[in-house]
């Protein structure tokens, strides 16, 4: 990795020049082409600590710096910036190594076991647009971590327990043929809810079913399982359509921890953490004291003996850290749950469920908004079903593909439309910083320009088309890469940054960093293609430029695959 190599060497030079211990080199890509390829900005901070002239200190650092094998020039600019121009020969050699590597230069990290909790729909209802973020973001992070060499355990912590299921089972039990009714879970839920709100006798019956469910009544358990199976099957159809990696065996719902909840309460009591407050069992931790000196407690058992989400979340931490021995536990959960998870993590630590060596990480995300900058809903103000969104995306893409390619076989148009439609929805979701809200916009996500899936898919298909037109067999292409032109240099550097970006996403869990990188790579290739003739060039330059194009296509394909997006050979 370029940045890592430069950081190591320049940090060593800083130390030899007399900088304080652990002074970082602060290496990054140059902000402007005239500053070279990379800059080191750490000299000024080190010079300030030494109370010496930063430019003079930069000169001492450069004297101690050994970059002869990789740098064409090393210059000092301004008050002490170190500008580095990389050698074309060095870049070419690194690119040759990446071309020969099936992993495209991405090393396999020391394996960690990482549990990722994502998607987690409420099985009482149909999946809606709000589930898109956790599902797609979590899947991309899981893919990146797996590609980086880690052991990933996907957990779909579905909502499959609680009082609402008494209402649903009571309603289901009175229907002679439940299959048609369960075809639309949202309608079924609304029908049961309406009865519960308007019919006191049915409400009482629903509460009786909750008691029967929790006490293990065989008939009610069978009805509950029938409903859960249907809801999970609906969710799996969405996962398959989205192309995410969640499978039935990844389901680890709230009900999976039922038997463990009394133990959680007893563990907390044994640790001296429980305090009774208004009949409820609570944990009061000093770190959750507000400005008025009041501590916000975490309730783990209600006064009637019932348990809460916090209790099952604690049981989940105990299982993931204790039984699975996870090194990292990632929660891809709405930002609105931030305080809840802070409390869960703190209590889990206090209870000894998660040792200091196990990372508990909440990777929050914002909301999907409509054109009015309010939470995205239907025109009637209802919930937008996720399956409806996916089907509309494919339909819109099919209309675009058919307009541009009316003579193409319909089956191929539909295949292309599926990849573009689903890919566009996912890419738009992933291209935004996950902590931000974003406006759901069909026109922007399906546009052929800008940081969109269609643009990325077109960039890949264009390279593949070039090879077909030239009659070049990619697998038989052999030769050396030559970096001479400025556009070749810029493309080479961008190609070599792929491992750094993958490592950053694996570490920080921000998939938009990969989207931004792929867009910048496509832009660098476009400039290279415009400024450097490929097929018309003489040998050995022609082969060199074909190899640059080939490596670009491979990295774009791999990058999109890490985002969970398929590629197309032609559009």
Q: What angle do CA 443, 447, 452 make, to 5 degrees?
A: 110
φ/ψ region of 119 (left if φ > 0, alpha if ψ in -120 to 50, else beta) reads left
| Cα–Cα distance for residue pair 225/197, rounded to 1 Å | 24
Q: Is 288 helix (H, G, I), strand (E, B) or coil?
A: helix
Q: What is the mean pLDDT of the chain?
A: 94
Name the more confident of 214 and 354. Answer: 354
- Please enumerate in sequence order all residues whose Cβ is within 8 A of that of 326, keeping only pairs 6 or more positions apart, or say none: 113, 114, 115, 153, 320, 358
pLDDT of residue 515 exceeding 90, the answer is yes
User: What are the pLDDT digits (tens) for 222-247?
Assistant: 999 999 999 999 999 999 999 999 99
Phi and psi dihedrals of 393, rounded to 5? -60, -45
pLDDT (tens digit per residue) in 67-96? 999 999 999 999 999 999 999 999 999 999
| pLDDT value at residue 231 | 93
pLDDT one-digit tens code per residue, 393-418: 999 999 999 999 999 999 999 999 99
Residue 117 in 3-state DSSP? strand
**Which structure tokens are listed for 65?**
């710096």
Report CA torsion sign: 200, 205, 206, 208.
positive
Q: Taking the domain 2-86, which CATH number applies? A: 3.30.1360.70
For position 1, what pLDDT does the model report?
85
State residue 220's pLDDT score: 92
Q: How confident is the model at residue 305 (pLDDT cuts 50, 70, 90)?
A: confident
**CA dist 479 → 65, 87, 398, 489, 545 (Å):** 33, 19, 40, 18, 10
509 contacts 449 by C-beta, under 8 angstroms: no
Secondary structure (DSSP) of 525-549? HHHHHHHS-STTSPTTHHHHHHHHH
Distance CA 219, CA 216 (A): 9
Cβ atoms of 501 and 521 closer than 8 Å: no
| pLDDT above 80 (res 110) | no
The two three-digit tokens of residue 88, written as one number: 């074309």
Residue 340 pLDDT class (50, 70, 90 cuts): very high
Per-residue burial over 408-440, b if 16 or more Cβ lie within 10 Å, else e, is eeeeebeebbbbbbbbbbbbbbbbbebeeebeb
**Per-residue pLDDT band at 290 (split at 50, 70, 90):** confident
Burial label for 349, CB within 10 Å (0-12, 13-18, 19+), is middle
Whether pLDDT at 271 is above 90: yes
Residue of 215, 221, 160, 216 lying closest to 185 (CA atoms) = 160
User: What crossing angle do the helices spanning 541-562 and 498-508 adopt, rounded to 10°?
Assistant: 10
Structure tokens at 160: 């499959």
**β-strand partners of 334:** 365
Taking alpha carbons only, the member of 267, 256, 337 closest to residue 300 is 267
Of 50-59, 169-178, 532-541, the one with minimum mean pLDDT is: 169-178
Mean pLDDT, range 37-66, rounded to an integer = 95
Question: Can you point out the beta strands (E) in 388-520?
Answer: 438-439
In sequence order, the β-bridge partners of residue 73 are: 85
Q: Which tens digit of pLDDT belongs to each residue from 179-195?
A: 777 888 888 898 999 99
Please state the rounded mean pLDDT for residues 284-309.
Answer: 90
pLDDT classification of 214: cutoffs 50, 70, 90: confident
Contact criterion met (CB below 8 Å) for 139 and 509: no
pLDDT score recorded for residue 571: 85
Q: Cβ contacts of residue 303 below 8 Å, gap of 6+?
A: 278, 279, 280
pLDDT at 11 over 80: yes
Q: Distance between alpha carbon 11 and the CA centroid of its chain, in Å?
A: 32
Q: DSSP label at 319?
A: I
Predicted local distance difference test score (pLDDT) of residue 174? 86
The two three-digit tokens of residue 450, written as one number: 């800008």
Query: Residue 83 — φ and ψ, nearest 5°?
Result: -100, 135
Nearest Cα neighbor of 132 from 341, 340, 422 is 422
Token representation of residue 286: 């000093």
- Quickly list H helices, 405-438: 410-431
Tens digit of pLDDT for each residue in 487-501?
A: 999 999 999 999 999
Percent of the chain with pLDDT over 70: 100
Structure tokens at 330: 């990632």
Q: What's the per-residue H, E or C state across 63-99?
A: HHCCCCCCEEEEEEECCCEEEEEECHHHHHHHHHHHH
Per-residue pLDDT for 216 more than 90? no
Whole-number pLDDT of residue 179: 72
For 479, phi then psi, to 5°, come to 160, -175
Phi, psi of 365 (to 5 degrees): -145, 160
Sorted by where each begins, the domain ranges of the chain are 2-86, 163-250
Calpha distance 230→373 (Å, rounded): 34
- Write down the residue that tokens 């909790």 correspond to: 117
Q: 3-class SS at 184?
A: coil
Q: β-strands 71-77, 38-40: how paired?
A: unpaired
pLDDT, one tens digit per residue, over 450-463 is: 999 999 999 999 99
If we measure between CA atoms, which residue out of 103, 109, 106, 84 comes closest to residue 31? 84
What three-state secondary structure class fits 515? helix
């Amino acid at each position: 990795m370029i940045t890592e190599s430069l950081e190591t060497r320049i940090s060593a030079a800083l130390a030899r020049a007399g900088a304080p211990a652990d002074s970082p080199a602060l290496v990054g890509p140059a902000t402007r082409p005239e500053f070279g390829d990379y800059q080191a900005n750490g000299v000024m901070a080190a010079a300030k600590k030494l109370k010496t002239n930063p430019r003079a200190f930069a000169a001492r650092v450069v004297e101690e710096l050994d970059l002869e094998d990789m740098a064409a020039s090393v210059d000092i600019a301004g008050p002490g910036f170190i500008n580095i121009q990389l050698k074309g020969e060095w870049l070419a050699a690194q690119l040759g190594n990446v071309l020969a590597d099936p992993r495209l230069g991405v090393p396999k990290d020391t394996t960690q076991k990482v549990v990722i909790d994502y998607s987690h729909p409420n099985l009482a209802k149909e999946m809606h647009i709000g589930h898109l973020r956790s599902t797609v973001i979590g899947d991309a992070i899981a893919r990146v971590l797996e590609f980086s060499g880690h052991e990933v355990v996907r957990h779909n912590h579905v909502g499959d327990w609680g009082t609402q299921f008494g209402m649903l089972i009571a309603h289901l039990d009175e229907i002679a043929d439940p299959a048609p009714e369960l075809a639309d879970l949202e309608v079924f839920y609304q029908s049961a809810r309406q009865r519960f709100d308007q019919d006191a006798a049915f409400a009482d019956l629903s509460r009786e079913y909750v008691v029967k469910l929790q006490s293990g009544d065989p008939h009610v358990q069978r009805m509950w399982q029938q409903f859960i199976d249907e809801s999970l099957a609906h969710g799996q159809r969405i996962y398959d359509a989205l192309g995410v990696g969640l499978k039935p065996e990844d389901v680890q719902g709230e009900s999976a921890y039922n038997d463990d909840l009394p133990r959680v309460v007893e563990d907390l009591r044994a640790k001296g953490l429980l305090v009774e407050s208004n009949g409820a069992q609570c944990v009061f931790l000093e770190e959750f004291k507000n400005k008025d000196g009041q501590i916000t407690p975490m309730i783990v058992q209600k006064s009637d003996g019932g348990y809460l989400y916090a209790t099952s979340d604690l049981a989940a931490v105990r299982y993931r850290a204790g039984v699975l021995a996870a090194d990292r536990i990632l929660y891809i959960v709405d930002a609105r749950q931030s305080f809840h998870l802070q409390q869960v993590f703190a209590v889990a630590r206090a209870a000894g469920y998660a040792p200091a060596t196990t990372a508990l990480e909440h990777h929050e995300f914002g909301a999907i908004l409509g054109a009015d900058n309010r939470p995205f809903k239907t025109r009637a103000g209802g919930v937008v079903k996720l399956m409806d969104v996916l089907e509309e995306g494919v339909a819109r893409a099919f209309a675009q593909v058919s307009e541009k390619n009316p003579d193409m076989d319909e089956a191929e148009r539909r295949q292309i439309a599926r990849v573009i439609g689903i890919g566009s929805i996912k890419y738009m979701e992933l291209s935004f910083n996950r902590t931000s809200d974003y406006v759901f916009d069909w026109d922007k996500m399906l546009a052929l320009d800008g940081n969109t899936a269609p643009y990325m898919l077109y960039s890949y298909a264009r390279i593949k088309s070039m090879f077909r037109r030239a009659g070049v067999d990619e697998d038989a292409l052999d030769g050396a890469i030559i970096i001479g032109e400025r556009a070749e240099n810029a493309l080479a550097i961008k190609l070599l940054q792929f491992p750094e970006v993958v490592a950053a996403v694996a570490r920080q869990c921000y998939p938009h960093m990969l989207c931004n990188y792929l867009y910048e790579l496509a832009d660098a290739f476009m400039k290279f293609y415009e400024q450097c003739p490929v097929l018309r060039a003489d040998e050995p330059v022609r082969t060199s430029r074909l190899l640059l194009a080939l490596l670009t296509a491979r990295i774009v394909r791999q990058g999109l695959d890490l985002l969970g997006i398929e590629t197309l050979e032609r559009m």
